[in-house]
Structure 1
Amino acid sequence: MTSVSKLTDHSGYWMRMVSNAVSQEFARKVSGEDVTVAEWTLMRALYDLEPTSPSVLAERMGMTKGAISKLGERLIAKGLVERAESQEDKRAHSLSLTKEGRAKIPVVASLADENDAEFFGVLTKEDHETLDRILKALAERRELKTTPVD
């Protein structure tokens, strides 16, 4: 009979278990601010880069221009992001946070900090630093660039 590994024999199983729990709780928290995790990631990128074209955002976040446009439209409808036409090229535009969107960044960032503290606060400082170092090394060595939005 062929030996079949258990689900729990795989690092990916444990990473997904923790990732799902962290992500689902964060999604619950940000929903109270009327944004999704995906919307938050775009808003946070704009906070540092605005005003920025959707193509630059797509490249920086490792997403498609279509995905950025869709998120942008949702945030424009919520009054958190605004679009401005380029003066040089009327077909081009940039996205930036509205005053309301900019004010929401520290609030949601605080929720992200709180979420991290709740989940990873059970680790020693050294274990948390080791975990971060290993995860960052994996992302770098596997050349992972797509911003996680789910």
Structure 2
Amino acid sequence: MLPVRPVPELTAHLGFWLRMVSNHVSQAFATKLAGREVTVAEWCFLRALYGKAPTPPSRLAEEMGMTRGAITKLADRLIAKSLVTRKASDDDGRAQTLALTERGTAIVPDLAALADRNDAEFFDCLAPDERETLERLLKSLAQRSQMTAIPVK
């Protein structure tokens, strides 16, 4: 029989706690969005287009850190929901642009309010300085590891 080496408990790992909190926060938000028939990925897409002129899918893919194929799939779903339009670019008829419809533009502030409420449910228990510290630390970790893609899952 091999000697058994001591192994730390799962809860001894910071990543365990980070994932636990992240999963709960994300799932609660996904549930809220599902009531509006929008996924987290679709919300991120809508927010990325909000307030912008018609945008080429390639630029959106770059900004969101996603593949063009993923952007196309999301766009197709949102077009089917009448939240996004796709049309030929004014500058180059072969190129396409994506833009929010009136309905898409109108829904973004409501979805942002859901995101704010979700944050409040989980993080209002923190003192303002604790929340600022948590945000600063998470942003610092993301920056150091060059995490730039928008987390949509």
Do both proteins adopt the same fold according to a TM-score greater than 0.5, normalized to the shorter chain?
A: yes
Following superposition, which runs of at least 4 residues in structure 1 exceed 4 angstroms of deviation? none
Q: Which residue of 1 aligns with 2:108?
A: 105
Give matches, 1:15-94, under 5 Å: 15-94=18-97
**Which residue in the other structure is 1:2 paired with?**
5
Pairing partner for 1:14 from 11, 17, 23? 17
* Counterpart contact for 1:50–1:97, Cα < 8 Å: no
Post-superposition shift, 1:31?
A: 1.1
Q: Secondary structure at the match of 2:87?
A: strand
User: Any idea what the Cα deviations from partners look like across 1:50-82, whole Å, max 9, x if unmatched?
Assistant: 311110011111110110110000000000000
Shift, 1:2, TM fit: 1.0
The one-letter amino acid of 2:55's match is: T
Q: Which runs of 5+ in 2 are unaligned?
A: none
Instruction: Give the unaligned 5+ runs of structure 1.
Output: none
Q: Deviation string for 1:4-31 (max 9, x for gaps)? A: 1211111111010000000000011111
Larger gyration radius, structure 1 or structure 2: 2
Matched residue type, 1:22:
V
Residue 110 (structure 1) shift: 0.2
CA contact (8 A) 1:22 1:119 kept: yes
Within 2, Cα distance between the matches of 1:91 and 1:7? 53
* Aligned positions, number: 150
What residue identity is the alignment partner of 1:137?
A: S
CA contact (8 A) 1:79 1:101 kept: yes
Q: CA RMSD in A?
A: 1.0
**What amino acid does structure 1 have at the position aligned with 2:54?**
P
1:128 corresponding residue in structure 2: 131
TM-score normalised by the chain length of structure 1: 0.96
**TM-score, normalization by structure 2:** 0.95
**What are the Cα deviations for residues 62-111 of structure 1, in whole angstroms up to 9, with x where unaligned?**
11011011000000000000011024433310100000000000100000
Identical-pair percentage? 56
